[in-house]
Amino acid sequence: MDILIFAETDDKGNFKKDAFEIASYAYQISSQTGGNVKAICFNSKIPEKLSDYGVKKIINSENDELKNFDAGIYSDCISDVFKSENCSMLVLSSSSNSKYIGGILSVKIDAGYVTNIISIPVKDNNLVVVRNTFTNKAFETVEITKSNSILAVSKNSFGLKENPTKTEISDFNFNISERRNKVSSIEKTSNKVTIADADIVVSGGRGLKGPENWYLIENLAEVLGAATACSKPVSDLGWRPHSEHVGQTGKPVSSNLYIAIGISGAIQHLAGVNSSKVKVVINTDPDAPFFKAADYGIVGDAFDVVPNLIDKLKEFKSVND
Amino acid sequence: MKILVCISHVPDTTSKINFSENNTVFDKTGVQFVINPNDEFGLTRAIWFKEKNNAVVHVINVGLSDTESTLRKALAIGADKAIRINHNPKDGHSVAKYISNYISNNSYDLIIAGRESIDYNGGMVPGMISAFTDINFIDKCIDLNISGDSVEASREIEGGKENISTKLPLIIGGQKGLVEESDLRIPNMRGIMMARKKELEVVEVNKDYQSTNSKSFEKPLPKGEVTLISADEIDKLIDLLHNEAKAI
Ligand SMILES: Cc1cc2nc3c(=O)[nH]c(=O)nc-3n(C[C@H](O)[C@H](O)[C@H](O)COP(=O)(O)OP(=O)(O)OC[C@H]3O[C@@H](n4cnc5c(N)ncnc54)[C@H](O)[C@@H]3O)c2cc1C
Ligand SMILES: Nc1ncnc2c1ncn2[C@@H]1O[C@H](COP(=O)(O)O)[C@@H](O)[C@H]1O
């Protein structure tokens, strides 16, 4: 059984970290079931980088028409490769573009499709995987009853594992159809790290009193190379853009480190950030519910603690980086 | 313009999640159900199209009779007709297939689904419907304007947004941004009375299209105690994050 992964690249043609994570994940499966891991990527500058993570064959199409993401065209290309390479499993990341095409692909290649996966599949007659469900309030064991499968792996649930191997790199002659959705413009809010890509997320709540105090969150995020986020009321009040709202009805966070400052820890907030590995809470109220969900906590005033934390982290970084 | 809004019937966001029958089914005891938040934004956008552009709005759910209260709520908010596909939804694939079959028999110009449901969290139904019906698709849609059959829309991308032009018929995976929180409507008495008289069509199905099968659920282990650090021992926090948690 061969496994195909869709290895995503950024605007500059570099692989996203997710690409290496799903390669590591697919390699682990192939080492148990036999078969090879193959990858499809578009306009990658250094496709051979995937060979560090066990990918045996890389199909890299360099084509200007594939430069900008298009769900219809990308899913056509991926399904063509999936079929011609005789694969029976496709592994995707949980980036928004991969989620955009996952459902379409499952119909095109007639596959059982499971998202938010946090385990390596087990073969028990059918393929069985564990996934996050009820917005991280529970895990679900799911069986795939079709012979083809698409597994979308939850971010940071597996990590990177190097398995250097010999790789063959080839091209593919795609029949590219016309774009049905025309992109007229792209507006980037900033060049900062996005919540989806970030290893560390620094998040502020109503405890920060007002937008004028967000320099605390931004400065802390800058020292850590982190993305900034906020609770729902903060974005509803217009203190921060909606794109920063995290939680059950906002963006999910599955970073390695989540630092919550002046956030009480309501159930809807926790649901969206529970799958972050390590959680730090800074709050004046020792009874704030967030302390029950945290790994490390400081009971204190953000206006004293955060500036101090920024200074100490700068010292730490100057020694350790 | 004819609009179909897909409505997922989900536990209220404050619900405690429990399972019964040996952890194989979601325990509905004491759980309040609501319109999936992403669908509520989409429904409100649809009602705006009705008020400003004379659109006709239908809502659809794949579910058993207990979801009718949620469909009635959508009717009370302003939808014209509700459709319930009488089937216990077991996976995204079958839900998408039933809704696609309904769309093939009853044409719509615009189909609004949510980017993701807050119970199953599949994030898959709208994409599957677009592939089954071969219509244009915009996921994570945060702005939608239509004139004639021309569509100007935006979708959220990592670190920004993308502005898109396309044509009807179209399906979107919608979310906040289509309308804002403050635009959401609570059904009033008149709406509730009118909803009782509106049509709720029940469609029977006999074929099954499942491609995945839920076997069991598990709740996360209770979290260990938090390690509290005094506000004047910041160095200790940094040390723990570096050496113990290996997070920085
Ligand atoms: C349907 C629904 C969906 C929702 N979805 C979400 C969601 O997705 N995400 C989300 O976040 N919320 C969501 N909510 C809202 C949620 O219930 C809470 O209201 C919200 O998370 C509270 O935000 P907060 O912690 O910033 O504010 P508050 O609850 O007001 O908490 C502020 C905290 O700051 C602390 N504080 C005050 N001063 C300081 C100081 N100087 N230093 C340090 N700490 C201080 C206080 O002790 C308090 O704990 C949802 C609600 C509903 C009804
Ligand atoms: N049982 C259902 N009936 C109607 N629509 C549904 C159902 N399940 C999911 N949907 C729609 O599909 C969207 C995405 O759901 P999901 O793929 O489960 O995350 C939801 O926001 C709804 O709009």
Q: Give me A161's structure tokens.
A: 């594992």
Q: Quick one: pLDDT at residue A191?
A: 63
Mean pLDDT value of segment A206-216: 98
Strand stretches in chain A, DSSP E: 2-6, 37-42, 57-61, 87-92, 111-117, 122-124, 126-133, 138-144, 148-153, 168-170, 182-188, 200-204, 227-230, 257-261, 278-283, 296-299
**Minimum Cα–Cα distance from B177: chain A residue:** A242
The reply to whether A200-320 shares the fold of A2-170 is: yes
CA distance A101 to A91: 12
B73 and B10 Cβ atoms separated by less than 8 Å: no
Chain B residues with CB under 8 Å of A304 CB are: 231
pTM: 0.95
Place of tokens 């996934």: A131
Q: Do B14 and A277 touch (CB under 8 A)?
A: no
B145 and B153 Cβ atoms separated by less than 8 Å: yes
The DSSP bridge pattern shows strands B19-20 and B25-26 to be antiparallel
B195/chain A closest Cα distance in angstroms? 27
| A81-114 tens-digit pLDDT | 999 999 999 999 999 999 999 999 999 999 999 9
Q: Quick one: pLDDT at residue A228?
A: 96
A96-108 and B125-133 are packed helices; what angle lies between their axes, rounded to 10 degrees?
A: 40
**Mean predicted lDDT score pLDDT of chain B:** 96
- Closest-CA residue to B2 (of B73, B56, B67): B56
CA distance B165 to A202: 35
What SS3 string covers B110-152? EEEEECCCCCCCCCCHHHHHHHHHCCEEEEEEEEEEEECCEEE
CA distance B203 to B83: 7
Q: Give me A61's structure tokens.
A: 């199409």
Confidence of residue B161 (pLDDT cuts 50, 70, 90): very high
A127 and A67 Cβ atoms separated by less than 8 Å: no
A302-320 and A215-224 are packed helices; what angle lies between their axes, rounded to 10 degrees?
A: 20
Q: Which CATH superfamily is domain A2-170 in?
A: HUPs (3.40.50.620)
CA-based max dimension of chain B: 68
Q: Do B229 and A296 touch (CB under 8 A)?
A: yes
| B76-118 tens-digit pLDDT | 999 999 999 999 999 999 999 999 999 999 999 999 999 999 9
Mean pLDDT value of segment A252-281: 95
CA distance A106 to A86: 16
Mean pLDDT value of segment A280-286: 98
- Tell me: pLDDT of B158 over 90: no
Mean pLDDT value of segment A35-44: 97
Give the bridge partners for B57, in sequence order.
Answer: B3
Interface of A with B in 230-249 (CB under 8 A): 236, 242-243, 245, 248-249
Q: Do B166 and A182 touch (CB under 8 A)?
A: yes
| B15-56 tens-digit pLDDT | 999 999 999 999 999 999 999 999 999 999 999 999 999 999
The DSSP bridge pattern shows strands A126-133 and A138-144 to be antiparallel
As assigned by CATH, the class of the A200-320 domain is: alpha beta
Ligand 1 pocket test: pick from A195, A203, A206 the residue with the most ligand atoms within 8 Å of its Cβ: A206
- Tell me: pLDDT of A320 over 90: no
Helices (H) and strands (E) in chain B, counts: 6, 15
Domain ranges of chain A: 2-170, 200-320
CA A184 to chain centre: 26
Domain ranges of chain B: 2-220
A34 and A16 Cβ atoms separated by less than 8 Å: no
Domain B2-220 has CATH 3.40.350.10: no
Helices (H), chain B: 37-53, 68-77, 92-105, 125-133, 189-197, 234-239
Q: Whose CA is nearest to atom 50 of ligand 1?
A: A268
CA distances in angstroms from B163 to A92, B44, B166, listed in the order given: 25, 21, 10
